[in-house]
Structure 1
């Protein structure tokens, strides 16, 4: 099932980025690109091997959910409930079968908050060192964990456990995290902090999707699933109100505080997902005590069936012929990359021999560039470049390049940079699956108006789509 359709666009990007190792990238720290390229190199490009990593991560998260329920005093039923609800949550189903920064970050955050939960109960300071190690790895995937720790330390100062702030091993762990993050921060500083600009772009994308501000609440609930919403809400109530969970109250307020930070700053809902294991586990323990009540029995069956019904929707458990009728947008975007490469190769082969020698491919999005980087060599395509996000840093066309096969954008935009621009084709796929790639126009652009050493700066963009025809042509 993991290799049913093809690579997800970000997976292709990570593989391409890993060929250009660095301490940081415009849009992320270095761990996932290096991991993706390492798996690609060792396995000869096995998609199954690549996706074994997120699958193992999701499985680990399910086990941690059960352990969290046990930490809160739950028996076997509570542990089973916590594992099932966590495992059936859309944020696990979506991220557990593709290699992405979000999935790894969620699982590392889940591990971190479980270790913190356990420290609160047993006060074993060795756990604080392990928390530091896990967080140090997490900041090599995403920097969002910093928000949680700032909020948690403030909550601990006012609500307890205050003694955690006096534990030397906490600050030793913090030093480990700082040392881990330092090379990436130096890279960001040397490149004028592009990650900050990237955060602004993400915030705009969140606002455009209606998931910012109050919409963040709905976005979080949507990634929890049917059972997850019930367990999340009830678990938060239990953590905040039950005297049995007084020691963990700072964790509950930390989750609410981080949610507020992301709602105000228009962060993505899944940034919060890893920490939801605590209220899910608390609810599982509470429901274990109510298992014999008629209302519980009456509600559990439909909620369980609705949650199970998400599995075939969120996972690619159907043939490619059914993609056009599926709401699974992620799987749709894994289909058709070789078809795109075939179309671009057809445009390239149609050029005269003399023209081909000075031709490269440039794409408007890193997704297309990454796919052509992988599938292009077998089709004898020339080098591929893109000005989108981190791909801009991977190199530019040589000044000798006079012809560009450009994937994406529109004629008014490209007229700014080339003497002649004409349509040469359109991206499609063999099943005409409607996805973000299908319908992209392929342009043949000749006569760059400046040397590429000067022109390339103009192609840099962070947004998913560069500005279009509202700017007059030069």
Structure 2
């Protein structure tokens, strides 16, 4: 039989105050969800959700599917789309409080852990908008919570739930495999190793594989495009990610919380009463090494960092005044950095820390500018004309805002948009090209190109599409079917 020995008692879950923190956060996110507009990634997810598949070149299917579901139920608006992000963020708060409970935290520690999570900059940022990271944080934290419960109780039947959490996580992003490797390495090195014995871990691995298998088969059938995307990220951003790794570990939650999560890591490692959970301290270090070595994004380590923070909140709850002051200060800072409270014209102030704020500005204006240029194409030539965008954000904006302006469906060779093309070879008329300001090289694939417009978001926000060029070309240098592989790009 599976072991059911309880290693440590846990306090009652502080349901009312913890859920109260989650509800307040959800109310704030809801009130501000429509303040700016869609993010470029959200526009991409909306289109991908209407091209259902077991995978896409840059992600598994979960986030696009959830985006489609949310807009179908709550409306095709930023507020409607972001209901699921708000719920995920509220769930994150509750899960971290539950982690604190698993680590012997009482009512005060659980509420403090919930509050620290609810004001953390990165958590609020990904709770404001739909992104793969929004659901990744939840999936990783659920996995951490289940492993903690497994270690605390010794009940190896929990490997089935652990496997299911890993499988679901892999349907959102395959990065959860890094967490699995880090936790396994730490358990093997520090114990308790007995939970790895028997057939329950194998059963859990089988469940994980079964849940993740459709996405893995899709990737295999398409020559593993996510490896190409990951390689591009490492090449283009790897050096910067490595340089910024430590600073971003400090700022992602809050600089004020650094002493708490360091204390939490030390507590997990040193406290005899938590010896069963000590693997989480070296697991964070193993994960950090994996992320830095691969040139990955520093936020990949955030879920285990939240576990360390929860552990630290148990100690800090005995002298809470300083921590609660830090929560208040962090809440003010986070509101400006992670939420759309500033007027768009003032976003330059926060762009250095959170550039994603600016990526929610200007998409309707881009569509209006393209519509103006499209109207200059003679009516008789429009049935053979093509709108081609450089990236999925531009294509997603035109797909969403274009129909009301009389625009045809756009094409793009970026990420999975390339799989939804190319235009038919019979579309041999003009090409209206939308590209970022410095991407002139794209025109070499077309003939008779001349600029006919510029994008202006009207708010003087210096985002990626501000001053994007709108170029009208007379045609292509080759038929679309021949040209498309040369146009395809992943980053």
- Residue 269 (structure 1) aligned with residue 298 (structure 2): yes
Q: Which residue of 1 aligns with 2:169?
A: 138
Cα distance change of structure 1 residues 411 and 76 upon mapping to structure 2, 3 Å threshold: closer
What pairs with 1:164-313 in structure 2 (closer than 5 Å)?
164-207=195-238, 210-212=240-242, 215-291=244-320, 297=321, 299-300=322-323, 303-313=326-336
- How much has 1:454 moved relative to structure 2? 0.3
SS at structure 1 position matched to 2:139: helix
- How far apart are the structure 2 equivalents of 1:229 and 1:244? 23
Match of 2:188 among 157, 165, 185: 157
| Equivalent of 1:354 in 367, 375, 380 | 380
**Structure 1's 412 and 111: CA in aligned 2 closer, same or farther, altered over 3 A?**
closer
1:132 CA displacement: 1.7
- Give, in whole Å, the separation in 1 of the partners of 2:110 and 2:73: 37
Partner of 1:77 in structure 2?
A: 108
Q: Is residue 100 from structure 1 mapped to residue 124 from structure 2 by the alignment? A: no
Q: Matches of 2:190 and 2:334 in 1, distance apart?
A: 39
8 Å contact 2:92–2:141 — kept in the other structure?
yes
| 1:382 and 2:373 are equivalent in the alignment | no
When residues 79 and 454 of structure 1 are mapped into structure 2, their CA distance, relative to the original with a 3 A threshold, is: same
Q: Does 1:391 align with 2:417?
A: yes
User: Hey, what's the Cα distance between the residues in 2 that align with 1:4 and 1:412?
Assistant: 33
Structure 1 equivalent of residue 83 of structure 2: 52
Q: Which consecutive residues of structure 1, in runs of 5 or more, have no partner in the other structure?
A: 292-296, 464-474
How far did 1:94 drift?
A: 0.8
Q: Deviations over 1:399-426 (max 9, x none)?
A: 1222111111567523421221100101
Return the alpha-carbon distance in structure 1 between the equivalents of residues 430 and 72 of structure 2: 32
Contact 2:256 2:330 in 1 (8 A): yes
What is the CA-CA distance between 1:339 and the residue it aligns to? 0.8
Q: CA deviation at 1:375?
A: 0.8
Instruction: Report how far residue 215 of structure 1 moved.
Output: 3.3
Which residue matches 2:362?
336
**Residue in structure 2 matching 1:129, options 147, 154, 160:** 160
For the residue of structure 1 that corresponds to 2:386, the secondary structure is strand
How far does the alpha carbon of each residue in 1:337-388 deviate from its partner, in whole angstroms, 9 at most, with x for none? Answer: 1111011001001111122221111111110001101111111112211111
Distance change in 2, residues 1:109/1:411 (3 Å): closer
- Number of positions where the alignment pairs a residue of Structure 1 with one of Structure 2: 455
User: How far apart in 1 are the matches of 2:348 and 2:254?
Assistant: 23
Correspondence for 1:467: none
In 1, Cα distance between the equivalents of 2:439 and 2:346? 34
CA distance in structure 1 between the aligned counterparts of 2:442 and 2:170, rounded to whole angstroms? 38
Structure 1 partner of 2:340: 316
2:483 pairs, out of 455, 458, 461, with 455
Paired residue for 1:471?
Answer: none
Secondary structure, aligned partner of 2:150: helix
Q: Matches of 1:63 and 1:305 in 2, distance apart?
A: 19
Contact 1:108/1:274 (CA < 8 Å) preserved in 2?
no
Counterpart in the other structure of 1:367? 393
CA distance in 2, matches of 1:315, 1:142: 25
> Against the structure 1 CA distance between its residues 33 and 379, is the aligned structure 2 distance closer, same or farther, given a 3 Å change threshold?
same
Greater Cα shift, 113-122 or 155-164: 155-164
Which residue of 383, 392, 405 corresponds with 2:432? 405
Residue 93 of structure 2 is matched in structure 1 by 62
Which residue in the other structure is 2:26 paired with? Answer: none
TM-score by length of 1: 0.91
| Partner Cα distance (1:19, 1:89) in 2 | 33
